[in-house]
Amino acid sequence: MTPAGQLLAAEIEAQGPILFSRFMDAALYHPEHGYYRRARRQQGADPFGRQGDFYTATQLQPVFGRLIAALCTQWQRQLGLAGAFHVVEWGAGRGEMAEFLNAFHYYPVDIDGGTVPAAFEGVIFCNELFDALPVEAVRVRQGEARVMRVGHHDGRFVWVEGEPLSGPWLPYAVNLCARVTDIREEEEVWLELPIGLESLLASITQPLSRGFVLAIDYGYTEREIIRFPRGTLMAYRRHQALDDVLLNPGEQDITAHVPFTHLEHCAHELGLHTRPLLTLTQLLMSAGETDQFAAALHADDEASAQRLRMQLKSLLFGLGETFRCLVMEKREAPEGS
């Protein structure tokens, strides 16, 4: 059993089945044995890239970095800012974006820390941040929603039916479930509750006095939940998607699709203005159309130019149609408010 698994098994032995959010939090973020913590300490445990467990758009450099920098420059002009323009990247990972965002006042923040200005104008950039937030798992069967907990039996972690869902998340679950069962006749429906999304969004946007928040992630809208009657929880290891998210905690990534309709709702509750949801392709096209991608594809030789063209193709026609982008704007408060 993995070190994280040993800790979780002991916790379950002591207090009974635990919430999935607790399991996911320990599996990913335990200070010593969590997946993301371990990856930063152990040589060869990097989760990103060919030798890791998955790719993100930030591995397609320099094209991705150049295009995001171009987008930040557009927003800088829109805000009418010069030297006071800041870019804060939440979930900076290995720091691949630093080279391209250092042209601004750039602040990378990740699991191991980072500094953020007390108050600033500019951009908050989040690439695949919200999909790794711990969630609760809920199963709806015969009209009853129950919290699904994690138990431990015969050396394996297993799902255990818990208490009936109640409180403020019940209407959320009922609404999503209705959108599935109105069209599909399923024996049961699984859902994830994004319990930490609004508090994280509030925390990262609090220092922003004026500017934009860009969230890039994979996810769904309320209308698209019909595609996921069994939920969206998934594990990743060695570039393979795995259904068993309870296996080998601490040694595989665990994600849940971002509910973008709910993210928009949270943004509005916090006073942010949202733009229509885009695909990554649409966002990058808007960043590169002013010069027909000339700056993003600039190279000193043909071999490098070909590599950049392949990166752009992967971004626009591979990842670009999978990932969604939500732009949120924080505007200046009206005078006298």
Mean pLDDT of the chain: 91
Question: Per residue in 181-201, pLDDT tens?
Answer: 765 555 789 999 999 999 999
The pLDDT of residue 207: 97
The pLDDT of residue 334: 59
Extract the tokens encoding 12. Answer: 């379950």
Q: Which residue has the higher pLDDT, 272 or 236?
A: 272
Closest CA to 3 of 36, 53, 38, 54: 38
Question: Per residue in 162-175, pLDDT tens?
Answer: 999 999 999 999 99
Assess whether pLDDT exceeds 70 at residue 226: yes
Instruction: List the domain boundaries for the chain.
Output: 34-134+195-218+257-330, 136-193+222-256
> What top-level class would CATH report for the domain 34-134+195-218+257-330?
alpha beta
The pLDDT of residue 63: 95
Distance CA 163, CA 146 (A): 6
SS3 216: strand
The answer to whether the Cα torsion of 72, 78, 83, 86 is positive or negative is negative
List beta partners, residue 88. 107, 124
Question: Per residue in 246-294, pLDDT tens?
Answer: 999 999 999 999 999 999 999 999 999 999 999 999 999 999 999 999 9
Q: How far is CA 286 from CA 29, 141, 155, 281, in A?
A: 35, 44, 51, 9
Q: What would the mean pLDDT of 306-322 be, rounded to a whole number?
A: 92
Distance CA 28, CA 36 (A): 6
Distance CA 295, CA 70 (A): 9
Answer whether 260's CB lies under 8 Å from 219's CB: yes
Instruction: Please tell me the least confidently modeled range out of 11-15, 21-25, 36-40, 112-116.
Output: 36-40
Q: How far is CA 201 from CA 120, 206, 260, 263, in A?
A: 16, 8, 13, 9
The pLDDT of residue 291: 94
